[in-house]
Amino acid sequence: MRLVSLLPSATEIVYALGLGEDLVGVTFECDEPPAARAEKTVVVGGRDTSGMTPGEIDAYVRTQMASGADLYTLHAEALAGLDPELILTQDLCRVCALPSGHVEDALDHLGCQADVLSLDPHSLDEVLDSILAVGQRTGVPDRAARLVGQLRARLTRIAGAVAGRPAPRVAVVEWVDPPFTAGHWVPDLVSAAGGQPVAAHPRARSVETTWADIAAAAPDLVVVAPCGYHLAGAIAQARSVVQNLPGTAVWAIDADGIVVRPGPRLVDGVEAIAAILHPDAVPAAPPGMVHRVTPATEHSAADDNIDIAEAEAIRARPGPRIPQDVIEEMMDADDPAHDAMAAALDARNGEDLPPEAVRALWETIRPHGR
């Protein structure tokens, strides 16, 4: 079956179902796996916002929406030339991807007879159901059922690990200028990870809010997950959250990878958030998924329990070895936490980390050395 995916999450679903060879067209944002954008025909384009600030992007989106202009460009002739049998799209969010109505109009105009499947989940359960729907329409229902069973088994393991533990109050921020609350399936990720979502709109659209309203929700910690950004971009935006919510623990997360795209990797997001909330009960998140942004001097008293448990978990688990010169630099620094943490790092096994990974790891670990 010749497939075209018009949203990144659908592309991930297609590959997770072992249908990568059937995929012939994608969007310019389909970056997982990297081969999708590199090897397939790109049939949807859009503005490159990499050089814009969050505030500038917000202003651009509002201007386009107010004028009735599209945020995405469908290369209709290229799409028709692929002669697809099934096109995967959505109607959930005009900001996130091209609406299915635009696609159907273009197909009618070109005389293309492809079927269109719109994926519009509002909850984590509905995301898993959408995987089943793709499997059914592409003729691999057994594969889809097996994949969803594996994902649900991982969720069950997390639920068992965090059962009976205090649930920290968690605010997820999906945009910072202006701030937007978490919506749709994102609050479900927090609940599944053993947290209590606050300042959120479960199964509804993310909406603009204020920093005062987020503070009034009294979160124990904030997870910054800006739509359209991986971890590095989330870290950059999270620094402004620290300024607007002083005294609150702030973490950044790979939003595009494991939070805002409704695909199989949302379960990775649950596991990563659980590692933040309950580090002594679940395995640590893999490198590149989460990063603590809050300086040590701005930790809340309630957060100290999380810090201590995570520090012990870091000391105990094996992992990549830190280059000796970096450890020696830590030992020479005028900070009472350095000796203990440097020794813990020195004991870890594996290959050397690249410098940027060392810096990220050290900034994550440093607050725990008390």
Q: What is the pLDDT along the chain (370 residues), one digit of tens a residue?
A: 999 999 999 999 999 999 999 999 999 999 999 999 899 999 988 878 878 898 998 898 888 778 877 777 888 888 888 989 999 988 755 555 555 566 666 565 555 678 889 899 999 999 999 999 999 999 999 999 999 999 999 999 999 999 999 999 999 999 999 999 999 999 999 999 999 999 999 999 889 999 999 999 999 999 999 998 999 999 999 989 999 999 999 999 999 999 999 999 999 999 999 999 999 999 999 989 999 998 644 444 334 444 444 444 444 444 445 455 555 555 444 444 444 444 445 444 444 444 455 555 555 555 443 2
Asked if the peptide bond before residue 178 counts as cis, ω within 30 degrees of 0, the response is yes
pLDDT for position 305: 41
pLDDT for position 48: 81
User: Which pairing describes strands 290-292 and 249-253: parallel, antiparallel, or unpaired?
Assistant: antiparallel
Both structure tokens of 151 = 């994902």
User: Which pairing describes strands 221-224 and 72-74: parallel, antiparallel, or unpaired?
Assistant: unpaired
DSSP string of 16-52? Answer: HTT-GGGEEEEETT--SSHHHHHHSEEEEEE---TTS
The residues pairing with 5 across neighbouring beta strands, listed in sequence order, are 88
Both structure tokens of 208 = 């603009």
pLDDT for position 369: 38
Taking CA 257 as the corner, what is the angle to CA 80 and CA 36, rounded to the nearest 5 degrees? Answer: 30
The residues, ordered by sequence, that sit 6+ positions from 262 with a Cβ below 8 Å of its Cβ are 9, 119, 121, 127, 130, 184, 185
Asked if the peptide bond before residue 354 counts as cis, ω within 30 degrees of 0, the response is no
pLDDT for position 75: 85
Residue ranges and CATH numbers for the domains of the chain are 3-120 (3.40.50.1980), 318-370 (no CATH)
